[in-house]
Homo-oligomer: A and B are copies of this chain.
Amino acid sequence: WKGAPELSSADGKFKFKVRGRLNVDYNGINQDKPITGDPDVSAVELRRARLGVEGVMFYDWVYKFELDFAGDKTAIKDAYVEYTGLPVDLKAGHFKTYNSLEAQMSANYITFMEKAAFIEAFTIDRLIGGGVSYDENKHWTAEAGIFGTAPEAGQTTYFDDGTTLSARLTAAPLNRERRVVHLGASVRDRDAPSQSRDGSEDPLFLYRARGADLHLADRFVFTPQFGQSDTLWALEGAVVLGSFSVQGEYAQDTVHTAAAQASADPTYDGWYVDASWFLTGESRPYANGQFVRVKVKNPVNGGSGGWGAWQVAGRYDVVDLSDQSTAIAGCTGCGEQETWLIGVNWYLNDYTRLMFNVNQSEINGGINDGAEIAGIGMRAQLDW
């Protein structure tokens, strides 16, 4: 039983579990209207509303299929089959490219409400493809994959999808209970799909991020749609010392494009560092090159009166899209965003969490230069 029942056949050949999650969010944001022209936000949303299944089919075949219906739209999330009968695992389907610690982690387990800004800015996301991974050693993992670049949603004609290559290597020289040192590096190279047949969709890449790391904020740093290919490098590091943890990542993405759109190839970058502390003694659990579900020592319930787990955290998060902005046509929004975040998380039990974030961004460069975007976010999260 893992939130929802995990069913197994008598002979152990098969397993099956229904899975899903709900995130109920409120965002209140001052978007600095005098500079940006965008009014304030006070809005609720179901940030995630997911339903899916996972299972094991005849010993060695693992599958996972999860859908997000937030906003009354359908979006396929993890949807893959994986053969685990060899020393390395072989996977095919729709899953995340192998880049960035925080991008790899389930949003159920991240410390703040939204992942670091560079993950959105550099579009580190799921694609359809195949991968090979090794994660059976406690001290390192290695993964690589090849994907079609084109997202599936809204496509009506299919020509050359483009190709995305991705690989990630992690090491955990120290990996004990409540003591972890994690290091990692990843790379991604991708080509944009060929022009869509009727010209209605521009397949080139763009780069952008939401203000104050809040999902209902507008985007105040953004590039035009101009990238024909790009190459991303990312470095990761994290340390767990009992209830205390620090984590940081750095990523840079070099964009290649045709001369007509840009007379120089920009290199964008982003990085963050965060620190978090459990007041109630829990520690961040680590497995297979990422952090996983927190085990709450004294869950809240009417009968026993536990207090759950309380965690406080801070992050400094930068994404810089200002490089070569004068050399790129239409680069009016190409600026840098620096964001401070403070977060408090209340884990009521292993599957239920309330989150509270206070965030502030400063925009440097571009048409929103000097804007300060400040806001709060609240979330009720439950997964099964």
What residues make up the interface of A, taking CB atoms closer than 8 Å to B? 1, 3-5, 7, 9-10, 14, 16, 18, 20, 22, 24, 27, 38-46, 49, 51-53, 55, 57-61, 63, 65, 67, 69-76, 79-81, 83-86, 92-94, 128-129, 147-148, 150, 152-155, 157-161, 194, 197, 216, 218, 299-303, 348-352, 380, 382, 384
CB closest residue in chain B, given A303: B59
Q: Contacting A158 at CB < 8 Å: which of B43, B81, B94, B161?
A: B43
CB closest residue in chain B, given A42: B160
Q: Do B49 and A52 touch across chains, with their CB atoms under 8 A apart?
A: no
Q: Contacting A44 at CB < 8 Å: which of B148, B299, B380, B382?
A: B148
Q: Do B158 and A61 touch across chains, with their CB atoms under 8 A apart?
A: no
Central interface residue in A86, A158, A216, A303, by most chain B CB within 10 Å: A158
Q: A384 with B57: in contact, given A42-B161, A74-B72 (CB under 8 Å)? A: yes
Q: Do B63 and A160 touch across chains, with their CB atoms under 8 A apart?
A: no
Q: Do B5 and A43 touch across chains, with their CB atoms under 8 A apart?
A: no
Q: Contacting A80 at CB < 8 Å: which of B22, B154, B158, B349?
A: B22
Q: Do B22 and A93 touch across chains, with their CB atoms under 8 A apart?
A: yes
Q: Contacting A45 at CB < 8 Å: which of B42, B61, B152?
A: B152
Interfacial chain B residues near A16, Cβ < 8 Å: 4-5, 18, 384
